[in-house]
Amino acid sequence: MAMIELESVTKKFGGTVTAVDNLNLEINEGELVSLLGPSGCGKTTTLRMLAGFEKVTAGTIRINGQVMNDLPPQKRNIGIVFQDYAVFPTMSVNENVAYGLKLRNVTGAEQKKRIAESLELVGLTGFGQRMPGQLSGGQLQRVALARALVIRPQVLLLDEPLSNLDAALRVSIRKQIRKIQQELKITTVFVTHDQEEAMSISDRVAVMKTAKLVQHGPPVSIYDDPATAFVAGFIGKTTLLRGKLESGNGDLVKLSAGGLSLNARKRGELSPGAEVWISIRPQDLQYGVSFKDNPVTGKVDYLELLGSLARGEIIDNNGLGLMFEVANPARSPVPELSSQASFNISPDAVVYGQLDAADSEIFKDEDVVLARE
Ligand SMILES: Nc1ncnc2c1ncn2[C@@H]1O[C@H](COP(=O)(O)OP(=O)(O)O)[C@@H](O)[C@H]1O
Ligand SMILES: [Mg+2]
C-alpha cells in the first residue's frame, strides 16, 4: 500500500475553473515526489487538498490507507512549508517551532527536547532565542522546516520552499532538505516549477500541465523518455522538430523533418504517415566522430565557450536550427563559429511521439522549437 494515494482527484473552483483534473498518483513511504509544472497548472491546489485546506470536488485522498477527504488539517498529521516561510514575526524561533507542539499539548521537558532536536536537524542550534527579523531568508526557511518537522508528521509537504531565496542558497538548502528527508525517511511532496530543482531532489517527478498529470517517474527516465513534446521541452534543453514517420523497419524507423531524414529507435506503434514531434538533446549531436548513423551538417550560427562545455546552434542545410553541446571543450574538438560542421546523432537519441493538439500548440507555426530551459 502506498503512503499517499490520490485517486481520480479533481478540484473545481466556482464551477468554471478546473484547477486539478482527475489526478491519479501514488506516493510510497519514504519517497520524495516533486510536482513539477508551469505556474497555474494545479500544483499548489493539489498540495492544499492533501493538507486539508481545500476540499476535493471529486475523487479520494488516502494517507496510510485512511480516507482524508473530510478530515480537517490538524487531524492529518502533516507538516507544511510554504514559499513565503509564514514564520510568525512576533514570536522567537523557539516559539515558532513550539507552535505545532502546543496545539498538540506537548509541553514541558518533552517540548524542549523536541524543539532542540528539530533545530539541530536544520542546523539552527543556538538560534532559539532569536526573533525572525534577525534571521536571513535561508535561516527563516529552515525555521519553517523545523516547525513542520517538530510534530513528527507522517507526511511533509513543501510548496516552492526555495523560490524566495537567491540561487546559491537555493542549491545549499535543497541539499539540506533532501538530506533531512532521507535521514528521517519522511514521505514528502515537493512542489516546484523549477525542473533542475525537481530533478536534483526527487525520487520521482510528477509533471503537470493545465490541471493534468502528464507523466511521472524517476528524474532520468522522464528526461530520457518523455511522453510528450511538452515534457521533453520542459525537462532539460532540447531541440523539438515537427515531423512525420516515413517508414518502419523492425527495430528502426525513418522520420523526416523539414528536409532532414532521421533514423530512430522505434517507440510505440505508429503507422507510416503519422505526424510526430521529435526531440533531440543538444549533447546528442556528436562532434568529431567518424561513424554517421544520422549525419547532420550545418553552419555554426552561435557558440558559447563555457569551462565545462561548449554550447551552440547550427543551421542545417535545410534551414533547421539545432542546438549542440560538446563536453569539456578544453580537451575535445569544438567546431568554430561560422564554420560548416558535421555531427552525428545516434538513433537511440532521436526521441519521438505522436503529435497531438497540445503538442501542435508548442510548435505554433514553426517546425522547430529550441527549448532552452
Ligand atoms: N481559490 C481559488 N479560486 C479560484 N481559482 C483558483 C483558486 N486557487 C487556484 N485557482 C486557479 O487554479 C489554477 C491552479 O492554481 P494553482 O494550484 O495555484 O497552480 P500552481 O501552484 O501550479 O501555480 C489556476 O488557474 C488558479 O488561478
Ligand atoms: Mg503554486
What residues have CB less than 8 Å from 203, skipping those under 6 apart? 31, 32, 33, 218
Residues 35 and 71 in one domain: yes
Cα-flanking dihedrals φ and ψ of residue 177, to 5°?
-60, -45
- Reported as a single tens digit per residue, the pLDDT across 341-362 is 999 999 999 999 999 888 888 9
Domain end, chosen from 190, 224, 258, is at 224
For residue 373, is it within any domain? no
339 SS3 class: coil
Residue range(s) defining the domain that contains residue 318: 231-366
Residues 171 and 260 in one domain: no
Confidence of residue 219 (pLDDT cuts 50, 70, 90): very high
Q: The domain spanning residue 110 has which CATH number?
A: 3.40.50.300
Confidence of residue 373 (pLDDT cuts 50, 70, 90): low
Residues 9 and 102 in one domain: yes
Q: Are 2 and 26 in contact (CB under 8 A)?
A: yes
Residues 193 and 338 in one domain: no
Residues 263 and 167 in one domain: no
Is the beta carbon of 13 within 6 A of some atom in ligand 1?
A: yes
Confidence of residue 15 (pLDDT cuts 50, 70, 90): confident
**What pLDDT score was predicted for residue 265?**
96
The reported pTM is 0.94
Residues 203 and 153 in one domain: yes
For residue 309, is it within any domain? yes
Q: Say which ligand is closest to the CA of 21.
A: 1
Average the pLDDT over 55-64 and give the result. Answer: 97
Average the pLDDT over 168-188 and give the result. Answer: 95
Ligand 1 mutation pick, 9, 10, 11, 17, max ligand atoms within 8 A of CB:
17
For residue 372, is it within any domain? no
Residue 290 has pLDDT above 90, yes or no: no
For residue 307, is it within any domain? yes
Check residues 366 and 302 and name the one with the higher pLDDT. 302
Task: Tell me which residue of 140, 158, 150, 161 sits closest to 111, measured CA to CA.
Answer: 150
Residues 237 and 134 in one domain: no
Average the pLDDT over 178-185 and give the result. Answer: 96
Residue 291 has pLDDT above 80, yes or no: no
Residues 111 and 57 in one domain: yes
Residues 30 and 59 in one domain: yes
Total domains in the chain come to 2
Average the pLDDT over 316-335 and give the result. Answer: 94
What single DSSP character describes residue 168? Answer: H
- Reported as a single tens digit per residue, the pLDDT across 313-323 is 999 988 999 99
Is the beta carbon of 181 within 6 A of some atom in ligand 1?
A: no
Could you tell me the distance, in angstroms and rounded to a whole number, from the CA of residue 45 to the centre of ligand 2? 7
Domain end, chosen from 224, 246, 264, is at 224
